[in-house]
Amino acid sequence: MRPAAAPVVSVVTLLALGFAAAVAQAVLLREAMAAIGGSELAWGSVLAVWLAGIGAGAWLGARRGGASLAAFGPLAVMASTGAAVVLVRAAPVLTGAGAGQTVTAWGGAWVWGFAVAAPALAGGWCFPAAAAGLAGPGGPALAYALESGGAMVGGLAFTFALAPGGAAAAVCVGAGVCAAALLASRGAGWLALAPLLAGLAVAGPAARGLAHAGWGWSGRLGELAAWRETHVQRLELAAGSPAAIYADGRLAASFPDPFGTVERAHLAMLLHPHPARVLVIGAADGAFVSMLRHPVERLVAVEEDPGLAVVLPRWLGPPAASAWTDPRFFLEAGDPLRLVGREKGLDLIVLDDGDPTTLRRNRTRTVEFFRACREALAPGGVVAVRVGVGDTYLAGAGGRLLAILAATLARVFPAVVAVPGDEVLLVAGREPGTVTVDPAVLLARWRAQGARDGDFDPRVVPLLVDPARAAPLQAFLHASRAPVNTARHPRAVLLAAALREARGAPPLLNAARALERLTPAVLGIAVALAAVLLLARGAVGAAFGMESGVIVGFASMGWWVLLLACWQETVGSVYGEVGALSAAFMAGTVAGAFGARRWLPAGAGTLAGVLGAGAAVSAAIAAGVPLAFPRAAIVPLLLLGGVLTGAAFPSVSLLAGGGAPRRGVGRGFAADEAGAAVAALLVGLVVLPSAGLAAGALGIAALEVAAAAALLLAASRRRR
């Protein structure tokens, strides 16, 4: 028998809800990432609050509200998201941050929680209230599929249409879409287009107004001269000279900078006797202008963000004009990993792109990347790595970060030499004995190369390398027993992120050091205890709807976080692609929910099979498939994970409701979101940086296997 036709209002509301939730989640994630310098600390904190709020709202929606009132839910989600964006941008004022300082995750947590809670509660409440209008046994599956379908469209729309305009534009257009859907469901005809057109009309002015208001709230000096949202980050330029470029709220470069960038650039060029072919990763600070004073044959500066590469000639202004017409200079916009693999016979590689504070930035600080650098060097070639840690105090997290990066370099290169300073420079040569930082040798190279720069006095070279400070620094690195930083186990990320975040927040640094000492064995014990509790519940014949919903939500969010981390680590930033990657997962949930509605009987046996298949997905992630074949594997794995999540929901709803469909939808959805909230917090902030990708994925697989066994055990107990 074919399922009965669904009421129009409920169908349109669920589609609009999915669209609104996807746009809202993407906007809030981007805002949070931009607020703390692009760090994935935003993933765990914001997603946890978002999903917990949705779960709480769904619990309420299972008891209160009808389909007519729920029709206003998607519009409420977008409206409250707009208010949330304003709150996040105003966080420097609300938290009392100093002028020009960004808000840390530690200091701004309460602002994010308050801002994210309202749209999350509205979205969570709306789902079971709207789903109540879908009668019949296939109602929960249809509701889940419709909401997921709307989310898929919302994610794609955000990535490919809304993201470039910024948060305010996305909210305005999203609100217009939701209002149009509300009017269309009530037979308004062509009148339904009016709010959509209004949203499009106000999007531009709203984006400009928010950009200037956010700049004022930040307390930075000067006026906002220009701004740009790219697929990688938010860029802002302060008016006046020197040019001050901000990326995700933090000062990325000041140009010209004769006492920082100029000295660092010339010192790097003196590390090789004849640097003819040079590659620089990171172009925002304009160091290439000083490097071109030396007799290079070819200098390539790599800027990962194509949007920044487009505006850089204009934003750096006249002081950099000579570089753009120099035939020896090439500015490349693209993936540093790909470009390093393409270049051969390099004399000098300078990694000037900053510390690995995010998984995206970590890509150029791993064993794998350093191996690629070694392959790109000519005989006698040198690599120089800038580390944002000073040598004056090495006992804390800064020293640990420096030791990890030095150990990672030493795994690939025969020797590593450290140059002291406010920012330590790690130097490694392709062959033993290649590197020297002897001041006399460096000054002789300056004279031999014939470089001329009115902003640089070569007499400062002995001060820049300072042998008296270099000796204890080198002794510290030799005595350190630090692990290496890899793509599978990004040990440096949490330390670097916490170090930058923890200015004035020592508890965060202490937490980072504690998590670094957290071994996979400790996590294994935690997983074993959770598995025992699941099996104990199964042994007493529990209905197991809520428990299985939590595990399904935990697994689905765990996959999402791990796979997005793999994307960020291998392909690049998820700042712009987060909507499209979420859409891939949602496309899978649509297919899974529709497939389950048509072909799979809801119940414990079906759910156990789905969890077993999920364990196989987790095993593939643990085996490193998405890291080995990122473009070929990550999106299919997201799709497959979505299929399993969608296929599980009808069974979770049936078991959680005890025969009451609306209660089952609300409780099942709440359990799913609660599990996802826990995973967002634990997998993103604890498991991945402390135990690595493989341990995290295997832990998820173990929980899925235990839940499947508990389901079957509980079902057998109830049949007796």
Pairwise CA distance, residues 477 & 495, whole Å: 17
What separation in angstroms does the CA of 441 have from each of 56, 333, 436, 473? 67, 35, 8, 20
Task: Tell me the pLDDT tens digit for each residue of 574-588.
Answer: 655 767 788 889 899
CA distance 413 to 435: 11
pTM of the model: 0.84
> Do 438 and 558 share a domain, yes or no?
no
176 within a domain of the structure (yes/no): yes
Flag whether pLDDT at 196 surpasses 80. yes
The answer to the question of residue 356 being in a domain is yes
The C-alpha atoms of residue 148 and residue 131 are separated, in whole angstroms, by 13
- 310 shares a domain with 206: no
The strand ranges marked E within 393-472 are: 416-419, 425-429
- The predicted-structure confidence for 642-663, as pLDDT tens digits, reads as follows 999 999 999 999 999 877 877 8
Region 462-489: mean pLDDT is 93
Whether 555 is covered by a domain: the verdict is yes
**In a shared domain, residues 476 and 615:** no
Cβ(39)–Cβ(358) under 8 Å?
A: yes
Instruction: Kindly state whether residues 276 and 216 are assigned to the same domain.
Output: no
Range of the domain at 41: 1-223
Better-scored residue on pLDDT, 477 or 42: 477
Return the pLDDT at 497.
Answer: 81
Indicate the pairing of strand 234-238 with strand 224-229. Answer: antiparallel
Judgement on whether residues 54 and 179 belong to the same structural domain of the protein: yes
Task: Determine the pLDDT at residue 2.
Answer: 42
Same domain, 532 and 672: yes
Residue 68 within any structural domain of the chain: yes
Q: What average pLDDT does range 219-239 have in this prediction?
A: 90
Of 265 and 509, the structure prediction assigns the larger pLDDT to 265
For residues 284 and 204, state if they share a domain: no
Containing 250, the helix (H) or strand (E) segment is: strand 250-255
Task: Determine the length of the chain.
Answer: 720
CB 389 within 8 A of CB 398: yes
| 261, 392: one domain | yes
- Residue 426: closest CA among 393, 401, 402: 402
Cα-Cα-Cα-Cα torsion 257, 263, 266, 270, nearest 10 degrees, comes to -170
Mean per-residue pLDDT, 61-86 = 90
pLDDT score at 101: 64
Query: What number is the average pLDDT over the span 590-600?
Result: 89
Does pLDDT of 504 surpass 50? no
pLDDT tops 80 at residue 506: no
Give residue 4's pLDDT.
Answer: 40
According to the model, what pLDDT value does residue 1 have?
34
Tokens standing for residue 23:
């746009």
My answer on whether 320 and 190 are in the same domain is no
Average pLDDT of the residues in 578-605: 87
What CATH number is given to the structural domain containing 567?
1.20.1250
Question: What is the identity of the amino acid at 34?
Answer: A
Q: Which of 466, 488, 510 is the last residue in one of the domains?
A: 488
Residue 245 lies in a domain: no
Please give the share of the chain, as a percent, with pLDDT higher than 70. 92
pLDDT at 435 over 80: yes
Residue 167 forms part of a structural domain = yes
Per-residue pLDDT at 303 exceeds 60 = yes
pLDDT at 574: 60
Q: Does pLDDT of 234 surpass 80?
A: yes
Task: Specify the pLDDT at position 95.
Answer: 78
Where does a domain end: 223, 245, 275? 223
Q: What are phi and psi of 353, to 5 degrees?
A: -95, 10
The domain total for the chain is 3
Distance separating alpha carbons of residues 97 and 620, to the nearest angstrom? 44
Of the residues 471, 488, 505, the one at which a domain ends: 488
State yes or no: pLDDT of 57 exceeds 80: yes
What is the per-residue pLDDT for 536?
A: 92
pLDDT in tens, 631-646: 899 999 999 999 999 9
User: Do 623 and 708 fall within a single domain?
Assistant: yes
Lowest-confidence segment of 32-36, 195-199, 402-406 by average pLDDT: 32-36
Q: How far is 535 from 214, CA to CA, in rounded Å?
A: 51
How sure is the predictor about 509, in pLDDT bands with cuts at 50, 70 and 90?
Answer: low
User: Is the domain of 199 the same as that of 261?
Assistant: no
HSE-CB of 253 using CA atoms within 13 angstroms = 22
Q: How far apart are the first and last CA of the chain?
A: 32
- Please state, in angstroms and rounded to a whole number, the distance separating the CA atoms of residues 304 and 672: 37
For residue 658, the model assigns a pLDDT of 77
Number of separate helices (H) and strands (E) present in the chain: 31, 11
Average pLDDT of the segment spanning 413-426: 95
In a domain, 232, yes or no: no
* pLDDT on residue 512: 58
Q: Minimum mean pLDDT among 501-515, 542-556, 578-592: which range?
A: 501-515
What does pLDDT average to over the chain?
89
In a domain, 231, yes or no: no
Distances (CA, A) of 51 to 121, 140, 669: 9, 19, 10
- 137 and 73 together in one domain: yes
CATH number at 435 reads 3.40.50.150
pLDDT reported for residue 3: 42
